Chain A
């Protein structure tokens, strides 16, 4: 069982610890923060017995606390020590806080974002099983990364030279021995966290034209026919992904047809015919959409979308050339759906959005 040490002095931290421990997959020990110098040294010592660290963002918030610092400088100190010590003591560092505090002091400080492998909110009802799944995978993944010593093909369990060379250009440098957290950061933030070479289940279903939540046959389909494409590298137990290129290839090989040449419902029909899995439901159109050329999803409706009928959204980081942008369907965009939860049209699309609004008005829709 992976063990985490959790530094927090807020009242609600006990409930967070219990919630994490109740899942019974990992063990979390709660400690109050110490003074900065003591704290980093103490953590280094304890890491022999622990596999990861959870930090509250504002360690300086509690009136009785001795600590007068926030999580990022502590995380930075730990990362630097790990780099100096050839990766000893490198482990997942996870950030947890309330939404309000994250909004107030974390989002704006983008330089600190890369310090944390994962973050979760204490607010509302934390999804403990999901959080624990990630924490467990992170801890195990760091161990693997330490052993694999930068062997990229082993890390992703695929010949990395066969992929777009731009993807690994920064990490493929025989001269430098990167610490584990550099690989971890790349995997989590760039490869697993962004659609691109790897896609998640929703996108997979969208590409196949399937409403997977309404399809009892979905599980059987992906396990029996698309299992080859599953990502099996480091962190794959926490992040379920498929290699996008293999999905297209696989579809071609089992149906004999090119995925992109078919409309959503046609893709489902073809699949039903060749796999004999009948319980697959074709995905319906999002309101105001007319195209079935699904290749992405709408971030509000979470349903398949033809990117031509969508608008790129603003993300904290612009996608890299080998990654895919995220989209909002026309309907969500013009009706401002999800805007109050932070979805925002990319500024480069605003002119097009205005044009489409005018057009819709003229058509009386």
Chain B
């Protein structure tokens, strides 16, 4: 006991000494008083360990992205108009983050009692912000922990509009070690010259995480509920400068080589993507009008009237004079909004979309909160009379009403919204009808059907007709001009305006060119249509053949059994035996064909593409063509392969059947025309740069150089009618589409096909190049 008393005495001595010093050490004083208090015999007190800062930081702020969004919300709560965030060298950890707002700032007292005091009651005491009466968005007491969560060091520079200088506080979070009293960790505070009129700058150094653009954009998204995308009308701003909330915006930059690069802001993330801006007024005489502007649809601003009476656009509104609204209209189509923004905007819109209501400059809830459909837009969308999108989430907007006395629009007793009286209903009607009219106008501009009953709507005019009528319009104009000139020319000197004459001549020439091009184009389209319908015929034929081949298979065993039987029976009758053998052989080639086609067709059923080794398709083809080539006196030489693993880009196996059959059929015809006996066909495959190739050569009559590029055109045949033998019924032979189909197949895989210099000893070589497996674009 005595010991304790001695100790207290000793501490008090020490304390006395310290206090009496001119420059006493406050940390020491705190420490000594603390220890004295701890030795108090009759009372005990809670103390706080400095480690609590790190603990709370970790527990209260989970993600670093949330941490930044909390700081942005703090800026909003401080009545900032704009907050700038600059991430400096922040791709890697250890970067610096600047958060600069133009809010009301903090006085020394506010800083010490608020920011530096844990669990301060400030936000509970004042749920609304001082200047614009914003509903506070930041969570209570999170800000400082957020800065701790983000980086190792924090500097705050803050000033208020009335202060003469700014204050600067520096905190090193690493100093808050466990086993120390929180009270004894001191941080420097300085008075520095004012940097701006008012506002706070946070500098967070030694960031703990690296920041990607995606993370930064996510932060923006977390704070999107602060967006008040719509500055209220300017006149009002002047009038009530001090009280009306002009809105809040946040802009995110990166600074890596001393040049600020914008990552995102609300314009960028949002409003640039609006399809249209819609704005409406009710003038003092009750006449309402609205305007529409759309950069995306190339529609300059235009003003329309709208009346209280649906049928009479000049009929006047009674109660809602002076109302003003503005809305951004979004349609969530990837053709209208870039994909990376699309889902972001739609997500935000699902939560925050709709038309907000401001009364005397203050937001009135619950209008445009999630699930609130005060303008009955969702309801109308569901009814699907208006087809164009016009749900709440298609709009970001606000309407402002002035009602100083509170006579027109009465607040409900629960203070949750306004009583639905006549004035309010008129407002709803005005907004609903204006928005719907605007939406229909936009739909019209986009060329889509906007209401189910719209009668004069027809499918987009055939572009061919549009162009043709424009051309004839040009003709008429030129004619009229000419006539005018002739009349004038009679009165004036001819060379009065050579410049004008020249440009009119140029116009005429241009129109002539358009007409000529047009004719060629039409011819081409006609050919394409012919080709298309021929392809349709062939496709249909292909299906029938497929079915036929499949059915025919059932008879094959019987052919075999019965010819074998016949051969046995007639073996003693040479003439009959010869016939039977022939029958048997013919049926054998028939069988080979059938099974090849059956395979091809069943492979076709598998829609999946696969890489194909050229050997595989060539071997299969060699096998199937063997009997036919012998019968046609064609020597089908064994194929040669210049490299291993000649895998193509993924294709259909059956397409190679088409390619090879077409080439074979063509070669056969060429050989027949050249009357070569025996004919010779040779296939050679290999690799060339990023492709594999196949050269298909024959010793037929060859293709003249001038026709080499044309043989792949639709309906081009090298065969003159006379040389076509009547037995020539090979597949697709008469159509002139065979090689065209081959070309289409090859080109659809990024390959090419040409008639090239013939291999030595041959008269024609067709070369096909197909990207190899290794060089397939994903």
A-side residues, CB < 8 A to B, are 10-12, 14-16, 18-19, 22, 98, 100, 122-126, 128, 334-337, 339-340, 357, 360-361
Whether the pair A126, B560 counts as a contact (CB closer than 8 A) is yes
Chain A residue at minimal CB-CB distance from B550: A100
Contact of A334 with B558 at beta-carbon distance under 8 Å, contacts A18-B565, A340-B619, A340-B620 already known: no
Chain A residue at minimal CB-CB distance from B584: A125
Chain A residues closer than 8 Å to B555, beta-carbon distance: 12
Minimum distance in angstroms from B657 CB to a CB of chain A:
12
Contact with A along B581-601 (1 / 0, CB 8 A): 000000010010001000000
Chain A residues closer than 8 Å to B588, beta-carbon distance: 125
A sample of 24 inter-chain contacts (CB < 8 A) reads: A12-B557, A12-B558, A15-B562, A16-B557, A18-B561, A19-B564, A22-B568, A122-B557, A123-B557, A124-B556, A124-B591, A125-B556, A125-B557, A125-B560, A126-B557, A128-B564, A334-B644, A335-B641, A336-B613, A339-B616, A357-B644, A357-B645, A360-B644, A361-B643
Chain B residues closer than 8 Å to A18, beta-carbon distance: 561-562, 565
Contact of A124 with B595 at beta-carbon distance under 8 Å, contacts A14-B558, A15-B560, A336-B615 already known: yes
Number of B interface residues at 8 Å Cβ cutoff, please give it. Answer: 25
Chain A residues closer than 8 Å to B557, beta-carbon distance: 12, 15-16, 19, 122-123, 125-126
Minimum distance in angstroms from A362 CB to a CB of chain B:
12
Minimum distance in angstroms from A339 CB to a CB of chain B:
6
Chain B residues closer than 8 Å to A339, beta-carbon distance: 613, 615-616, 619
Per the bound structure, the CA–CA distance linking A123 and B550 in Å amounts to: 12
Contact of A123 with B553 at beta-carbon distance under 8 Å, contacts A15-B560, A16-B561, A22-B568 already known: yes
Whether the pair B556, A123 counts as a contact (CB closer than 8 A) is yes
The 10 closest A-B pairs by CB, nearest first: A15-B558, A19-B561, A125-B560, A15-B561, A15-B557, A336-B615, A12-B557, A357-B644, A18-B561, A340-B616
Q: Which of B487-523 contact A (CB under 8 A)?
A: none
Per the bound structure, the CA–CA distance linking A16 and B619 in Å amounts to: 30
Contact with A along B619-637 (1 / 0, CB 8 A): 1100000000000000000
Per the bound structure, the CA–CA distance linking A335 and B645 in Å amounts to: 9
Minimum distance in angstroms from B378 CB to a CB of chain A:
52
Q: How many A-B residue pairs have CB under 8 A?
A: 68
Chain A residues closer than 8 Å to B620, beta-carbon distance: 340
Chain A residues closer than 8 Å to B561, beta-carbon distance: 15-16, 18-19, 22, 128
Residue in B553, B558, B564 whose CB lies within 8 Å of A22: B564
Per the bound structure, the CA–CA distance linking A222 and B472 in Å amounts to: 95
B334 within 8 A of A: no
B554 within 8 A of A: yes
**Among A14, A335, A361, residue most surrounded by chain B Cβ atoms (within 10 Å):** A335
Per the bound structure, the CA–CA distance linking A340 and B623 in Å amounts to: 11
Per the bound structure, the CA–CA distance linking A335 and B615 in Å amounts to: 7
Minimum distance in angstroms from B571 CB to a CB of chain A:
13
Per the bound structure, the CA–CA distance linking A124 and B615 in Å amounts to: 24
Chain A residues closer than 8 Å to B558, beta-carbon distance: 12, 14-15
**Among A10, A340, A357, residue most surrounded by chain B Cβ atoms (within 10 Å):** A340
Contact with A along B524-568 (1 / 0, CB 8 A): 000000000000000000000000000001111110111011001
Sample of 15 more A-B contacts, CB < 8 Å, known A128-B564, A336-B619: A10-B554, A15-B557, A15-B560, A15-B561, A19-B557, A22-B561, A22-B568, A98-B553, A122-B557, A123-B553, A124-B591, A125-B557, A126-B560, A357-B645, A361-B643
Chain B residue at minimal CB-CB distance from A124: B591
B120 within 8 A of A: no
B602 within 8 A of A: yes
Chain A residues closer than 8 Å to B602, beta-carbon distance: 100
**Among A98, A124, A357, residue most surrounded by chain B Cβ atoms (within 10 Å):** A124
Per the bound structure, the CA–CA distance linking A19 and B588 in Å amounts to: 16
Minimum distance in angstroms from B777 CB to a CB of chain A:
25
Minimum distance in angstroms from A21 CB to a CB of chain B:
9
Per the bound structure, the CA–CA distance linking A18 and B616 in Å amounts to: 36
Minimum distance in angstroms from B352 CB to a CB of chain A:
55
Chain A residues closer than 8 Å to B556, beta-carbon distance: 12, 123-125
Per the bound structure, the CA–CA distance linking A123 and B602 in Å amounts to: 15
Whether the pair B595, A123 counts as a contact (CB closer than 8 A) is yes
Contact of A19 with B560 at beta-carbon distance under 8 Å, contacts A11-B554, A98-B553, A361-B644 already known: yes
